[in-house]
Amino acid sequence: MYTYKAKLNRVIDGDTVNLTIDLGFRLTYTANCRLAGINAPEMNTEEGKVSKVALIQMLPTEFTIESTGLDKYGRPVVRIGNINDKMVEGGYATKY
């Protein structure tokens, strides 16, 4: 597992965010990142829209992430502090 500083660009849905990740040595990588271990409802549902708003309200603009690798679509899979767990505890996502 790797730890990086990251900046939030936008929340795509309840389990996907676009981040600029600081790789060190003045190198950055911008990518859509999947939140590890959770699955949020799709955006075409009312629950999906509520989940996205909840994630927006929980996230600061800058934070530290832990990357666990890539998903099957090549997106980084990340943990953002305890945000992943809070999404499940709040009923905005399910464990995946």
pLDDT digits (tens, 9 = 90+) for 10-65: 999 999 999 999 999 999 999 999 999 999 999 999 999 999 999 999 999 999 99
How much is the pTM?
0.94
CATH 2.40.50.90 fits 2-95, yes or no: yes
Exposed (0-12), middle (13-18) or buried (19+): which is 78, by Cβ within 10 Å? buried
Total residues found in the chain within this entry: 96
